[in-house]
Amino acid sequence: MTLIKPFDPWQSSLCSCPPKYSLSAYTGCGHSCLYCYASSYIPRFYQPRPKKDYRERLEKEAKKIPVGSTIAISNSSDPYQPLERKLKLTHKTLKILVNYDFRINLVTKSDLILKDLDLLKKFKKILVTISLTTLDKNLSKKLEPNCPPPSKRLKAINQLSEFMPIVVRFDPLIYPLNTKNIERVVEKIKEAGAKQIISSTYKAKTDNFKRLNQIFPKFNELWGKIYKKEGQKIGSYLYLEEKKRKMLIEKVRKEALKVGLEFSTCREKLENLNTNSCDGTSLF
Ligand code: SF4
């Protein structure tokens, strides 16, 4: 099994990403987000572990990847999850890839990325995507128990944005948990120095839906209604009905455009709302 693979988000017909590769040093993720999609596809997802012979394999594989390719690090685990403090595999990855002419897109929820700032500055083409679902630290603690709080992520955006373009994933929108203060969230993202917002609605899978319902019992009835009764099945996900999805996404889009940010959606079939490539890679 190769480490650097063509990006294919579990064969989603709704993915509109430009061609790119995906690379994860870890299998699974210790951030333990309730809404995580990757947990449905990877066994023992919340018991993260390093990939076997990672460094040696990466050194061999990097030589075979065409010059100028985009590599997203990563899409199925966070490269700066807690295990990185100990194993530093993402740091080692960057030390190898800095010798190549690739376009690197790091995707994380952690300010641990700042430890690699000096190394990141050495890349000619680098884009960082930070996920932020809410400004409320208590809500974040419930939703993403092992992630750094929103304030630390905003600080990371601020520091990184001096040196490289930053995209923020305000994602997923879980109605009504994090959809009340959209204007404020967007303003904070802008103030921190980001260039683009990617936003999409939460899509229910059996396991993530169960986790959310366990932690937020007061929404069981509402979510049952808007996802199970009124929602639509697309692929293996339950989506909100299109009208509701559009309404939420257009709200974020309106605020983003108001403050001069680029905007895009992810796996919503609403590409007409995008002002930039859906994954932000046109900012390279
Ligand atoms: S950080 Fe990403 S990969 Fe890790 S648990 Fe959260 S959603 Fe899943």
Long-range CB pairs of 210-215 (<8 Å, 24+ gap) are 211/34, 211/35, 212/34, 212/35, 212/174, 215/34, 215/142, 215/143
Position 168 pLDDT exceeds 80: yes
Cβ < 6 Å from ligand 1: which residues?
A: 29, 31-33, 36, 38, 77-78, 109
For the CA of 46, the closest atom of ligand 1 is 5
**Residue 28: both structure tokens together:** 């699974």
Which architecture characterizes domain 5-283 according to CATH?
Alpha-Beta Horseshoe (3.80)
Q: How remote is the CA of residue 283 from the centroid of ligand 1, in Å?
A: 24
Q: What number is the average pLDDT over the span 230-236?
A: 94
What does the chain come to in residues?
284
pLDDT at 13: 74
Q: How remote is the CA of residue 36 from the centroid of ligand 1, in Å?
A: 5
Q: How remote is the CA of residue 82 from the centroid of ligand 1, in Å?
A: 12
**Residue 137: both structure tokens together:** 């630290």
Strands 21-22 and 166-173: unpaired
pLDDT at 75: 85
Over residues 90-124, the pLDDT tens digits come to 999 999 999 999 999 999 999 999 999 999 999 99
Q: What number is the average pLDDT over the span 57-72?
A: 98
Position 10 pLDDT exceeds 70: no
Residue % of the chain over a pLDDT of 90: 94
For the CA of 39, the closest atom of ligand 1 is 8
Q: 13-22, 120-129, 224-233: which has the minimum mean pLDDT?
A: 13-22
Amino acid residing at 89: L
Contact partners, residue 168, CB within 8 Å, separation at least 6 = 129, 130, 131, 132, 157, 189, 192, 194, 196, 197, 198
221-235 core/surface letters (b: 16 or more CB in 10 A; e: else) = eebeebbeeebeebe
DSSP 8-class letter at 240:
P
Q: What are phi and psi for residue 5, nearest 5 degrees?
A: -120, 150
pLDDT at 17: 85
Position 71 pLDDT exceeds 70: yes
**Residue 226: both structure tokens together:** 């808007």
pLDDT at 8: 81
Cα–Cα distance measured from residue 249 to residue 172, given in angstroms and rounded to the nearest whole number: 10
The 10 Å Cβ neighbour count of residue 149 is 17
Q: How remote is the CA of residue 109 from the centroid of ligand 1, in Å?
A: 8
Position 150 pLDDT exceeds 80: yes
Position 14 pLDDT exceeds 90: no
Using CA atoms in the order 201, 205, 211, 213, what is the torsion angle rounded to 10 degrees? 70
Cα–Cα distance measured from residue 74 to residue 25, given in angstroms and rounded to the nearest whole number: 8
Over residues 74-91, the pLDDT tens digits come to 889 999 999 999 999 999
Strands 237-239 and 262-265: unpaired
The candidate with the shortest Cα–Cα distance to 107, out of 232, 231, 7, 247, is 7
pLDDT at 174: 98
Q: How remote is the CA of residue 147 from the centroid of ligand 1, in Å?
A: 9
pLDDT at 12: 72
Q: How remote is the CA of residue 46 from the centroid of ligand 1, in Å?
A: 9
pTM of the model: 0.97
Amino acid residing at 159: Q
Position 9 pLDDT exceeds 70: no
> What mean pLDDT value characterizes the chain?
96
For the CA of 32, the closest atom of ligand 1 is 5
pLDDT at 15: 82
The candidate with the shortest Cα–Cα distance to 5, out of 52, 48, 55, 64, is 64
Q: For residues 105 and 280, is the Cβ–Cβ distance under 8 A?
A: yes
- The residue nearest atom 8 of ligand 1, judged by CA position, is 36
For the CA of 147, the closest atom of ligand 1 is 1
For the CA of 45, the closest atom of ligand 1 is 5
pLDDT at 20: 95
pLDDT at 121: 98
Amino acid residing at 73: I
